Every structure is written in structure tokens, then in C-alpha cells.
Structure 1
């Protein structure tokens, strides 16, 4: 028994040097922040390409008042970042966690969440001053991300909560598809559509991050020769060559979204009927959505090219 206890003590006892080394590694790991969070806009002015929503938010922040908001638009356009930046300006870093409730409605989308978490948080009263002495609005903010995933009963319960707690709470609903939000909710919110980010805006932001992180980078696009050869292989209809061409482009390191964008421009210029172009571009839209959702690049491009290869046979396009 004593031998066992000694062995256990020897394993659990660490030298001061080991403890320091362990503490250093833990501290080092805690400082590692994903770039998505590190370079997320901290203030409303830093949000890019959404002038309408930013202009209204600035006026609301100046008057320390905020309506219920509904942000909708494609993923990655800054909807969540915008409301978080606005809340930080209203409350400061000290009160942010106390005054803001963030929920992802796709994970917590039932009526029970509305009755418990949201309702209990909304009923709390708050003061109108910050620890630094600056005034702040006497209301809280509930952020419901992916609100279009909420069930119909949960949306109905949220409507009643919005009515009862209008003096103490403001709601910000964030969704991709506004058509999935019930009309009683949309009528109680100021609606803002977030536009897809222009390529130039994305490029400027990426280059800025590269410079801050001291990364080496090159501005590169898929060579026109490769795009044209891929189109020619598609029209030849030989699957073996098509598979090899797609695999080669992916293995070269070109992003599928980049290939897709240049393929779109090339297809528009091709001598094809409007019907064929519409079928191909519709497939491109589907592939673009799948890529955004994390689908396999090679399989998606191969699927698109098989549709392009059928452009000469209208019967196959109907499938």
C-alpha cells in the first residue's frame, strides 16, 4: 500500500520548472486567436460595404436608442459582426456580457429556449450608466443568429416576448432567408439586407490581414489557358479527360470558387443558346452554395463540368 502511495505521489508531484513550463504553454495557447475573431470589426465604422445599415445604426447609437432589428442576406456579409460592434459601442467591454445575450437559433430553436433563456433575460432591468461614467441605454440586446431555423411555435412565442419586454429589451434577428420569418416578427423590426461583398472589398481585406500577419502572398488567378482547355474538354464529352483536367487544376492549388468565377465569365462568352446558359449558370449557383457549405471541391467542379459537357444535347440538360 505504501509503495502504491509513493508511486502515485511521484507521478503527481511536479518540479517548479515543470510547473512553469506547463504554465507557459497554457498561457501561450490561450493567446492563439482565430483570424476570424482577431480581425472581426470591433466598431461599427470598421464594417465594410454595408452603408445603409451602418448609417441607421450610427444615428441610433447617437441617440442611445435602438429599434428591433432584422438583418438578412448571404452568409459572411457581416450581419453578426455589425450588431456585436454596435453593442460594444453602446455598453463598452465591461457591460457587454451582462447586457447582451447571444443565441444560435439553429442549435437552440425550440419554444422552450424562448420561454426560459430569452424571457428570463428580457425581464431583468438594467441601469442607464456605465462603470466609466458614460451614459448607456437602459435596455438589453438579444441576438438570435440563424433565426430562420427557429420553429413556427418558437417564433410565435418570441413575438409575444418582444411585445411584453419592449421597454427593457431590443431584439436583433439574423437570418439568410427572410421568407422563413413569420410576418408578425418582421413587422416589428427594422429590416436591413446585407449585400454580398464585392471581390475588391474581399481582396483588400485579405491583403490587409496578410500585411499585418507578415505573410508572403502573390496575386494570382487561374491561367486563361487552363480555363479554355477545361471548357474544350467539357465540350468533347470525354469523362476521362474531364476528370484529369479538373483534378489537375485542384492539385495545382487553385481555389474552386476562383475556378467557378472564371468559368462563369467564360461560359457567358460562349456561343451557346440562352437555354443552355441558363441551365449551366443555375448549376453554378448550386455548386457555389455547396462550396460555401464545405462540400468537396473536386466533386463539385466535376459535377458542374458534366453539366457543361451536356450543353450540346438538350435532352441531357433536362435531367
Structure 2
């Protein structure tokens, strides 16, 4: 099998859940070999560790396991992030898959199927995992919030912002939620406070989860907050080039914001319409299609140059000045 799709869509969780349903907790340890990105992925591992495990004969399952689980007569090798393997390692793996297919099955997991060589991909049943829908992801986050007794004033709005920032990656969304709770979950007066020293904590001490805002989530995610984007757009509309330069240098770059995030934030606000609930500036500017097309071209060019390693301050400033002329 070949599972492919963007990160955080449940590829690894699916095959692990399937293997545990097939073998049970006892046989799982001896019948399943999982290798991920933290393991050595060179050709030597394919020739030694994977081949040695694949060639082993299958042990008989106990009567108790056979009554509870299917226990198929083969082992399972899970190769997570298989697209990070070298071409030589993938070629060696193809031969191993053919030789020991009678006692061993393989599941390859990757983000980019184009990085899997054709001889290997053609021997697999392919399953594409698409980004999770907002409704399913929101329901899962709401379940976590309810189970962990997290109190949020505007729960739905905050969770939707988390989903927006995670871009269909449920794992990233859960990490953002967990990080926010860890940062703001100490204290009894509802105020944000730093976590106390572990030695001074008592398990019986009351712990209150303060309400964190959308801005807090954006800071955790490392994106430029809506308020900062609004201030930048105000300066672009005013066409005060010296003010734009000073603001980017003193307030944006010195705050540590990434150039790509600034560009993406401008695209969301000017081209896609921004946040309707923002009062600082009307981000849904009445731009015509021609203006939006030109802004998209400017942002695309800047993002491409940033990806190629150009100086982010120069590229962001250049893009902002070009956009200011169009507004």
C-alpha cells in the first residue's frame, strides 16, 4: 500500500490503527516494523534491517489472539516519509518487496508521491489522503476542548482561527491548541501567567485555564497578527513610502515576523478579503479584478524570490511599495 497526501491528515494513524486491529497488542510488537524519518534511511538499512525482518518466518498466533483478532499470516513493514529515501534505497526496497511478498507486506507513507520511483509506486495500491474538512476538524477540536475542560469565551471563533492557521493539518491544529493551553493554563485569577517551577507545583493546587485570544494563537503560530497587517495596509493606502519603510523595519522585522508570512497575510487581506470582524481597517477593500490580479502577481514574484533565498527585507519592501502604487 502507498499512502500519500499532505501532513496531518491521518496517514500514519490509519495504518497503525489498522495493524493493531489486525494483530492485537501482543502480536503487534513482533509482526510490525515501523521506520520513520528519525531512522537511518539509506540503502544499508534496506539491505540489513528491513531485509532481515522481511525474511523472518511468521510465528503462530496464540489461540487467544486468534479468537479476538484476524491475525493474517504475514508481517507488516511501515515506512513513514518514504519520499525522503534515496533512489538507490527505493530500488533496493523494490527487490525486497518482490522477494518476500509471501510473508511480508509493506505500507509506504509519503507527502509527495512524485518522489517515489515509478517501479516502486506501480507495485502498490495507492490511497490519497486529502486535507481534513473544516467541519470534521472543528468537531475534533471541540471534543478535545470539552474533554480537557478548557474554557474559552468565544470557542468557535478561536477554534476556526486555529484551523485556518493549520491549513488542513489536524496535527498542527492540536499542537497550536495544546501550546496555548500550556502557556496560559497557570494561575487562579484568570490572568495569563508563566508556568511555575515544576518542583513548586502541587497536584492538588487548583489550575484555571484563562481565555486566550486569537492574537495569542497567531503569536504561537508565528504569523503576523491581523492588527499588524491592518497597520501595514493603512500605510500602503496612504502611500507614505518613508512611513512604510520605517514601519516594516522597526515594527515588523524587528518583531521577528517571517517575510513569507507577511506576504501571505497581505494576500489574504487584499485579494481574499481578510477578516470581516476586524474594526481597525476595512480589509475587504473595493479592489477591481485587475488590481487583485496585479497584486497577486506581485505577491507571487516576491514569494518565489523568498523561496529561492533572496533577502526577505528587500523583497517584502519591494512588494509593499509596488502594491501601494496600485491601491
Question: TM (normalized to structure 2)?
Answer: 0.59
1:276 to 278, 282, 295: 295
Q: Using the alignment, how far apart are the partners of 1:193 and 1:138 within structure 2?
A: 27
Equivalent position of 1:193 in the other structure: 128
How much does 1:171 deviate?
A: 0.7
Give the gaps of 5 or more residues in structure 1: 1-68, 290-298, 315-319
Name the SS of the counterpart of 1:192 in structure 2: strand
User: Aligned pair 1:230/2:232, yes or no?
Assistant: yes
More divergent stretch after superposition (232-241 vs 257-266): 257-266
Q: CA deviation at 1:102?
A: 0.6
Q: Distance in 2 between matches of 1:216 and 1:249?
A: 30
Distance 1:71 1:171 in 2: 11
Work out whether residues 81 and 109 of structure 2, in 8 Å CA contact, stay in contact via their aligned partners in 1: yes
Is 2:271–2:292's contact at 8 Å kept on the other side of the alignment? no
1:242 equivalent in alignment to 2:248: yes
Would the alpha carbon gap of residues 199 and 227 (structure 1) be closer, same or farther in structure 2, given more than 3 Å must change? farther
Change (3 A) 1:197 1:282: farther
* Structure 1 partner of 2:108: 173
Q: Which residue of 2 aligns with 1:13?
A: none
Structure 1 residues 200 and 258, CA, compared in 2 at 3 Å: closer, same or farther? Answer: farther
Matching of residue 184 in structure 1 with residue 124 in structure 2 = no
Residues in 1 aligned to 2:318 and 2:133: alpha-carbon distance in whole angstroms = 27
Deviations 1:129-155 (A, max 9, x none): 454333311111111111111111111
- Verify the 8 A CA contact 1:100 1:142 in the aligned structure 2: yes
* Partner residue, 1:267: 271
1:164-200 deviation digits (Å, cap 9, x = unpaired): 1111111111111111110000000011221122334
Q: How far is 1:100 from its partner?
A: 0.7
Does the 8 Å CA contact 2:302/2:316 hold for their aligned counterparts?
no
Look up the SS of the partner of 1:268 in the other structure. coil
Specify which of 117, 123, 130 is matched with residue 49 of structure 2.
117
Query: Alpha-carbon deviations, 1:181-237, whole Å to 9, x = none?
Result: 100000000112211223343332222212211122343356977644332334544
| CA–CA distance in structure 2, aligned partners of residues 73 and 205 of structure 1 | 20
Contact 1:234–1:242 (CA<8 Å) still a contact in 2? no
1:83 to 5, 15, 21: 15
**Residue 65 (structure 2) aligns with:** 132
Aligned-pair RMSD on alpha carbons? 3.7
Unaligned 5+ runs, structure 2: 159-213, 216-224, 274-284
How much has 1:258 moved relative to structure 2?
A: 12
Q: Whole-Å Cα distance in 2 between the matches of residues 286 and 195 of structure 1?
A: 28
Contact 1:105 1:150 in 2 (8 A): no
Range 151-160 or range 270-279, more displaced: 270-279
Q: Which secondary structure state, in structure 1, belongs to the residue aligned with residue 109 of structure 2?
A: strand
| Deviation (angstroms), 1:312 | 3.4
Counterpart check, 1:162 vs 2:97: yes
1:29-58 alpha-carbon deviations (Å, 9 max, x no partner): xxxxxxxxxxxxxxxxxxxxxxxxxxxxxx
Distance 2:6 2:149 in 1: 30
Equivalent residues of 1:234, 1:308 under 8 A apart: no
Residues 149 and 199 of structure 1, relative CA distance in 2, 3 Å threshold: same
